[in-house]
Amino acid sequence: MKKLLAAAALLAISATGSWADGVAHYVAIHVDENDPQVMNMALNNAMNVSNYYAAQGDTVTIELVAYGPGLNMLLADRSPVSARIETMTLEMDNLSFAACGNTHRRMSEAAGGDLALLDGVEMTPSGVVRLIELQEQGYAYVRP
């Protein structure tokens, strides 16, 4: 009987996907608007999610993907939230930023030269495709 109860408990624990603390979570946050309120909300979401899971003893990997007018968030000379991104990047090793290469190319052409990204921002060929890839890898999708 003890073996049966132990097996049932093991099955119940494995069905929830959690033995105890230490569950890994993955979140993709999308910004496609040139609106400081939306940008700050996305950063708030990243901070709140990170703090929540840390308090639970879990880990979370967060990638913020910007494209279209939202790419302004990640441009060195245009971002209204550059100081906040710099601080968060230093404080949160679980947060990364991806800039859409398609949007960057079009904006750079319109500006007459290559637009610089903030330090630490990675270029991805397509922001939309990157979001699809992340979702296919099991990332939860958040749009502020």
Report the 3 state secondary structure along 60-100: EEEEEEECHHHHHHHECCCCCCHHHHHHHHHHCCCEEEEEE
The residues spanned by each domain of the chain are: 19-142
| Residue type at 2 in one-letter notation | K
Q: What is the pLDDT of residue 20?
A: 53
Write out the H or E segment, with its range, that includes residue 141: strand 140-142
Give pLDDT tens digits for 38-71.
Answer: 999 999 999 999 999 999 999 999 999 999 999 9
Decide if pLDDT at 21 tops 80.
no
The span from the CA of 120 to the CA of 42, in Å, is 17
- What's the mean pLDDT in 78-95? 97
Residue pair 62/43 in contact by the 8 Å Cβ criterion: no
Q: What is the DSSP code (8-state) at residue 78?
A: T
Residue pair 97/64 in contact by the 8 Å Cβ criterion: yes
Phi-psi category of 123—alpha, beta or left, where left has phi over 0 and alpha has psi -120 to 50? Answer: beta
Query: Which CATH superfamily groups domain 19-142?
Result: DsrEFH-like (3.40.1260.10)
Q: What is the pLDDT of residue 10?
A: 45
Q: What is the pLDDT of residue 23?
A: 96
pLDDT bin (cut points 50, 70, 90) of residue 33 is very high
The C-alpha angle 12, 18, 22, rounded to 5 degrees, equals 160
- Cβ within 8 Å of residue 24, ≥6 positions away: 58, 59, 60, 61
Q: What is the pLDDT of residue 131?
A: 98
pLDDT bin (cut points 50, 70, 90) of residue 9 is very low
Q: What is the pLDDT of residue 8?
A: 43
Residue pair 51/57 in contact by the 8 Å Cβ criterion: no
pTM of the predicted model, to two decimals? 0.84
Q: Within its chain, how far is the Cα of 71 from the centroid?
A: 14
